[in-house]
Amino acid sequence: MRPNVVTEARLPTRLHQWWATVPFITSGVIITCGVIYLVCLLVGYDSFYEICFLPSAVVSQFQVYRIYTSALFHGSLLHVLFNMLALVPLGMELERIMGSVRLLYLMLFLATTNSIFHLIIAVVVAGNPLHPLPFLMNQCSIGFSGIIFSMIVIETSLSGVQSRSVFGLFNVPAKWYAWILLVLFQLLASNVSLLGHLCGILSGFAYTYGFFNYLLPGPSVYSAIESFSILSLCVRRPGFILCTGGTTYGQLPTHSSTATMSNGLSSGNLWRNISSWMPQRAASTAQPAQDPRFPGRGRTLGSTGNQSLTPADSDLSLHARLLDNSTNRPLETTTLSTETWLPDARHSTLDTEAVAGLVTTNQGVDIFEEELKKLVAMGFEKTEAEVALAAADGDPSVAIEILMSHQQQG
């Protein structure tokens, strides 16, 4: 009987280990959507008319809350299960690159833009003088899939892969991946919102082409949000990832086996994740000032002495640097209130060590902004420089290497 007991214990252990790899915001969205579905199932709520995205209600009664409530509700177990399984790899990849607060803002932003596109298209088509289609104004849409389609477009653009696998059956060009999924879902599933998925794709492309850049805050805004005392418990969670890279308390577990990665999430593709954003320009000899948080010359992990790295080795080492950015580095403690609520329900004033951690964090944000300005002054685009600097953990030398890699490989 003992071997059977051991075998039965493996599944919960593996599930726990897998769940520990899911970052904070991604796991939070999964839990929220799952709990909402279970509550609706228990109370027998299945009409969804009051919370779905209904263009006629938004226009006539200005019920803008439907923009966000519609994304959190799902109509069936298969609906919520499929959406959350699709969210896991996308959310894990984007949250590790962007940070937890930035990803949360991106999800809210995409939910808003998706609904705006949905509303505009529905109004234009319904008011078309040639062949009006008023039924679009009365379509009730729910589910997180619109945001997922936007994230598919963004992650595919960042990955730089040339092809994607569709359900493991066949490969398609990466630029057509989201569109092919849109057509397949319409053909294979019933009660699928074509307009909702289409608007998700449009929002994703608008984001990747930079049309929303003026609506996206800089890293100082995300760092300021992370410093709020009300969020201190969230920031201290192991899966929380700072917008400047790295977790606040310990190493976020990751799977290093390439056999478990698919659809462009392997080590070699993450380098192309960043380099696909980079401009084509000549190499610059200017060197930015040394960052005190990252002493020593900027070089990729795994290099020794003056040994040169091949592009493949550089791909692997930068991927390890991005995902394992908190290894062999002092923990950054963000404690920004004069009092901290302890687990045993006691209040304790900040000691000198916590104050020192606060000063270090604020200085780190200022240094990040300063290095970003220097990269922009060197001729790089601000968005591309910000992504490269975040991927390099604030190391300006590595950021320049990332920015120049595409030209060097050519």
Determine the Cα–Cα distance for residues 181 and 172; give it in Å rounded to an integer: 10
Residue of 27, 100, 141, 145 with catalytic role: 145
Determine the Cα–Cα distance for residues 72 and 187; give it in Å rounded to an integer: 24
Q: Catalytic annotation on 145?
A: yes
Which tokens is 29 given? 């969205």
- Torsion angle of the four alpha carbons 209, 391, 318, 205, in this order, in degrees rounded to the nearest 10: -20
Q: How far apart are the first and last CA of the chain?
A: 61
Q: Amino acid identity, residue 243?
A: C
Determine the Cα–Cα distance for residues 142 and 35; give it in Å rounded to an integer: 16
347 sits in which H/E element: strand 347-349
Smallest CA-to-CA distance from 121 within 209, 208, 211, 194 is with 194
List, in sequence order, every residue forming a beta bridge with 339; answer none if it has no partner: 349
Q: How far is CA 334 from the centre of its chain?
A: 21
Q: What is the DSSP string of 199-247?
A: HHHHHHHHHHTTTTGGGS--HHHHHHHHT-GGGHHHHTSTT-B-TTSSB
Q: Amino acid identity, residue 15?
A: L
Q: Catalytic annotation on 319?
A: no
Counting every residue written for the chain, the total comes to 410
- Tokens 């596109």 found at: 117
186 Rama class: left (phi>0) / alpha (psi -120 to 50) / beta = alpha
Residue of 74, 79, 118, 197 with catalytic role: 197
Give long-range contacts, CB 8 A cutoff, 24+ apart: 40-46: 40/73, 46/75
Q: Is 132 exposed, middle or buried (0-12, 13-18, 19+ CB in 10 A)?
A: exposed
Alpha-carbon dihedral sign for residues 294, 295, 299, 303: negative
Point out the residues that are catalytic: 145, 197
